[in-house]
Structure 1
Amino acid sequence: MIKDLKTNKILRFGIRLETYPVSYKDEISNEYKGFCTVFAQELKKSLETEFDIRKIELTQISIKNFSQGQDKNPRYQGVENKEVHIECGANTIPFEGEFTSLDKVEFSSPFLETKIKLLIPKKNIGKLTQKPSEFKVGVIEATTTKKRLTSAFQYKLITYKDKRKAIEDLKENKINAYASDSILLRGILNELEKQENGKYILLPEK
């Protein structure tokens, strides 16, 4: 990476667009925002100073979620294939051997730790313990969230390629809940509250 930076002076920084507040694209300004954008800018400055590289150009590249199976710029393979130098996002660091395809990818120390939670309509709370095997939980496919829910609970998991479709189905009662990282769910909950205040809740609450 450093050799490439010294030669080309371009930092290719992979970023996801729909993981508010970690990384997202503002619909009004059409600009990248969130923690990852700030981190990318600070990393650029640090690299320029530490390795005496003048005027590195920061290029933020929109990537597609690894779980979607896209060939171009998927979340982790983009790093492995050197399409991006670094990827920053709401990523769960997998356990050793959890995803064998990630053997060539290294993870930094976590900058934030959150728990997996359920976004659920309040009317569905009672159904959680009645018949878990019939309780439909939406989850993004090929993620650590899905793997860990599969091993720990008996819920009927409904897989999705993107969260938008999952939230649509949740609003239309096609699934009973949606599972993801709590920090991402809080952003989704804030948006839902603008439309249907008090209808949804995150579980567990603590």
Structure 2
Amino acid sequence: MVVGLVFLVCVLSSASGTVSQTPTPTKTQLPNEIRIGIRVIVPPIGEYQELSDTYIGFCAEFGNLLGEKLGIEEENVIYKVIANEGKGSKYPRWASLLINEDKDKNIYRQDIQCGPNSSQPIDNDEIIFSMSNFYETGIKLFLKKDILDKYKPNLIGRINIGVLKETTASVQFKNRKNISEKDTRKEILKGLSSDKNPIQAFASDGIILRALLEQKDADGKSYKDKGYVLYPDGSNYLFDNSKNENYAIAISNKDKNKLYAQDLRNKTDEILNSQFKNEWKKKLENYEYYGTDCYDNGSFIYHVISGFLFVIFIFIIVINFFRVLLFRLANNERKRIKWKESLRDGSAVQFLIQECIIIGSQTMSDIFRVDQRKANNPFTNIVKDHAESQVTITQQQGQNLADAVEEIQEILNKLAQNYPSASENEIQTVLGMEVKQRIKNDPDLKHRFLNAAKQGGLELGKVLINHPVVNVTVEMIKGWLESEET
């Protein structure tokens, strides 16, 4: 009996050991970082912003989500620009996924390549693709509008078309006439602008050609500005939908680390089967078909709301201006007379502009006239009684200051007109006599002048010093006013 139990335990232990030889991947088995190469040929799919050293677009957001699903910290999701726009589907397109690592030389293999890559078989199964795609596109032509107008509707066969070697476009144009295969896009673009053996159109993926159309040169001009267009436009393609391309995520399987590569594929497919993929699919379609900015999400609503708030803001300012203006007219007989005169002689607009300037200056003066000692003092309550004894300009006092400034301006302007050739001393003498005479005719004027000099000496000083003819000081004005008391 005992021997039988021992035998049973041994059998179970052996079976358990056999199962443990093929473990499923867990968070602890996965690397603590992931390297993602981004092809930046189509900005909305992947773009590197050098100034901020950040990546934006579909691939960047995909990478962040993948890192979360793998339990990898955001700073350990490492992006790198993949700029291999050249010689077809094998090399150097997939070089970043196939290179041998040498950490001493800071050479690292990318785990994933994200970009406008079509799912396709790769030799030796060293690269695998996500089972789900993230975008579908078709072949279009990139050409000058005058060429299009001249040769359509039967373009193919009548014009020279450039394609990149070992691409889907080269396969679809195989055995057709007037097709030029090139190693790089640069060669094709050079042929488009050449008079010798010219290439009249560039055939490639619609979304890639949309990005090229929007691309700007050193002069800040896009190909669109230079007269280039896409054909067919909108959501149409040269060939039927059965020949469309499906973009997928490429995953390195270089060292046959199948557990890790398969786990990356599974997590990638989870993301590509979610609402995230659907939202980006719509954004990329709008970009390809109509040139819509993928990053300007909700911009229309934002601009409408911003415009509405701006209109309200301006409305409040206008209402407040007229409220202050009505207050000034109601409390100042001289203002009311000037307003009526402006209505009669057609200068009402000039009157309103002058009032707007005065009210604006007064408002800014009130805003910046802050008791810094009180604002910075942490013991405000202790010195409250003393603070309240400080002179502050109320709305009525501000009104008196504005009126006084305007009245002095009128006197100065009048003297400048009546005595254009008088010396400075003569004008100062006449000005003193004019001020004293006005005080006799309007006793309240002296009170307004003195309060203005005390409360707003700076504003009065600007009026006097900046006048082109008369050069007097605030103290001189105060002296004339106070001499009337003796």
In which range does the TM-score fall when normalised by the shorter chain?
Answer: 0.7 to 0.9
1:140: which partner in 2? 164
Superposed CA deviations along residues 46-84 of structure 1, whole A, max 9, x for unmatched, are 211xxxx55661111233437537x9x843354355722
2:232: which partner in 1? 204
Answering whether residue 91 of structure 2 is matched by residue 76 of structure 1, we say no
Superposed CA deviations along residues 71-104 of structure 1, whole A, max 9, x for unmatched, are 9x8433543557221111101223xxxx553744
Structure 2 unaligned segments of length 5 or more: list them.
1-24, 101-108, 237-486
**Which is further off, 74-83 or 10-19?**
74-83
User: Counterparts in 2 of 1:93-132, with a 5 A limit?
Assistant: 93-94=119-120, 101=123, 103-108=125-130, 109-125=132-148, 126-127=150-151, 132=156
Provide the aligned C-alpha RMSD in A: 3.5
Look up the equivalent residue of 1:65 and give its one-letter code: N
**Counting helix residues as a fraction of each chain, which structure ranks higher?**
2
Partners of 2:48 and 2:79 in 1: CA distance? 11
Q: With the length of structure 2 as denominator, give the TM-score of the two structures.
A: 0.35
Answering whether residue 65 of structure 2 is matched by residue 42 of structure 1, we say yes
2:115: which partner in 1? 89
**Which is further off, 170-179 or 189-198?**
189-198
**Which is further off, 128-137 or 99-108?**
128-137
**Which is further off, 57-66 or 76-85?**
76-85
Secondary structure of 2:77's partner?
strand
Does the 8 Å contact 1:67/1:142 carry over to 2? no
Does the 8 Å contact 2:163/2:169 carry over to 1? yes
1:61: which partner in 2? 80
Secondary structure of 1:150's partner?
coil
Closer/same/farther in 2, CA of residues 204 and 7 from structure 1, 3 Å limit: closer
Closer/same/farther in 2, CA of residues 20 and 139 from structure 1, 3 Å limit: farther
2:200: which partner in 1? 176
Partners of 1:27 and 1:135 in 2: CA distance? 39
Look up the equivalent residue of 1:88 and give its one-letter code: C
Partners of 1:54 and 1:130 in 2: CA distance? 54
2:358: which partner in 1? none
Partners of 2:193 and 2:53 in 1: CA distance? 27
Structure with more contact order per residue of length (Cα contacts < 8 Å, sep ≥ 6): 1
**Which is further off, 113-122 or 7-16?**
7-16
Look up the equivalent residue of 1:101 and give its one-letter code: D
Superposed CA deviations along residues 115-169 of structure 1, whole A, max 9, x for unmatched, are 1111111122234677845632222222122112226xx2433233333443343
Partners of 1:102 and 1:129 in 2: CA distance? 44
Secondary structure of 2:118's partner?
coil
2:33: which partner in 1? 10
Look up the equivalent residue of 1:57 and give its one-letter code: N
Superposed CA deviations along residues 166-197 of structure 1, whole A, max 9, x for unmatched, are 33432446311111111121122123674653
Closer/same/farther in 2, CA of residues 100 and 39 from structure 1, 3 Å limit: closer
Does the 8 Å contact 2:182/2:188 carry over to 1? yes
Q: With the length of structure 1 as denominator, give the TM-score of the two structures.
A: 0.74
Partners of 1:75 and 1:198 in 2: CA distance? 30
Closer/same/farther in 2, CA of residues 116 and 189 from structure 1, 3 Å limit: same
**Which is further off, 75-84 or 37-46?**
75-84
**Which is further off, 168-177 or 107-116?**
168-177
Does the 8 Å contact 1:135/1:155 carry over to 2? no
Closer/same/farther in 2, CA of residues 47 and 114 from structure 1, 3 Å limit: same
**Which is further off, 126-135 or 165-174?**
126-135
Does the 8 Å contact 2:140/2:232 carry over to 1? yes
**Counting strand residues as a fraction of each chain, which structure ranks higher?**
1
